[in-house]
Amino acid sequence: MSIETADRVHVNNTRVDLFENVGPIDWEDLPAAAALTQQLIRDFAEDKALFRRLLLAVEHDPYLWAKCEEDVVEDKIVLWDDVEKGLRIRLRMSTDHQQQLAHNHRFSFTNLVLRGTYLHRNYFARGGFDENTLPDDVHPVLLHEDRAGECFTIHHNALHSTPFTELGTISLVLRGNPVKDRAPVMFKEARGREEAVRSLQETAVTPGELSEVEPESAEVGTMFWRVGEDRESSERRAERQMTLEKYRFWCVKLEELGLI
């Protein structure tokens, strides 16, 4: 008799008709994945009873709860995670101004803006994009806004930035499974006070040895890695873990906004 893993306990204990007939998503066939996932995430957002049911169940699901985070400029609540289908749904809520961060991802995903606006830039990086890339090598090639009700799909190798232009911007993200251990991020705008930036310059890491923690202050050109939870220490996971108070705040806020 096989042992049921935590992710399968989560999926098997909660029946969601909307996801039942979705087969494993082929995220490498991006046009097909975009057509499927954009419709799926719109259907999910419109089914407010389902949205509310999954949101309110998160605090009682240890597997999902461990994935809910408070980061430097945003909070994240994971509502669903079917690893076999490559289908994870999470809420993303802005909590502070976000700088222009050129980055790609560990996974491909579809994003539906529920409230607020993203200022979306796509970039070209001369010579590729890695820990040795210089700020002048990264050039914007497209600028557009993603407003409430709009949806986009991004391949994990696409280089872009999506800073929030409004505090309280909220989106639903439907993402695939990771295909990389980590993905680089570059600050195209400085973050933090000048003295904090000077302090970072004095303690800068050797090129090619990037931090795996997003800095609270950074100068233009500073880079770091975004990594999966499996690469984070238990101490780091505890630092990022969402509090029940914050989670319940968002539950109330989403109801007040008419999103659930």
**Residue 192: inside a domain:** yes
**Residue 17: inside a domain:** yes
**Residue 164: inside a domain:** yes
- Domain count within the chain: 1
**Residue 71: inside a domain:** yes
- Identity of residue 38: Q
106, HSE (Cβ side, Cα atoms, 13 Å): 14
**Residue 195: inside a domain:** yes
With contact defined as beta carbons under 8 Å apart, do 119 and 162 qualify?
A: yes
Token pair 């097909």 is found at 32
Read off the pTM.
0.88
Tokens of 252: 């109330």
With contact defined as beta carbons under 8 Å apart, do 106 and 182 qualify?
A: yes
List the domain range (segments joined by +) for residue 245.
Answer: 6-256
Q: How far apart are CA 229 and CA 106, in angstroms?
A: 12
**Residue 146: inside a domain:** yes
**Residue 187: inside a domain:** yes
CATH number of the domain that residue 33 is part of: 2.60.120.10
Q: 74 has which bridge partners? A: 94
With contact defined as beta carbons under 8 Å apart, do 93 and 146 qualify?
A: no
pLDDT tens-digit profile, the chain (260 residues): 345 787 778 888 888 999 999 999 999 999 999 999 999 999 999 999 999 999 999 999 999 999 999 988 899 999 999 999 999 999 999 998 888 899 999 999 999 999 999 899 999 999 999 989 999 999 999 999 999 999 999 999 999 999 887 888 999 999 999 999 999 999 998 888 655 555 555 555 555 567 877 888 888 889 988 888 877 788 888 899 999 999 999 999 999 999 99
Give the CA distances from residue 146 to residues 22, 65, 150, in Å, rounded to whole numbers and listed in that order.
27, 29, 6
**Residue 1: inside a domain:** no
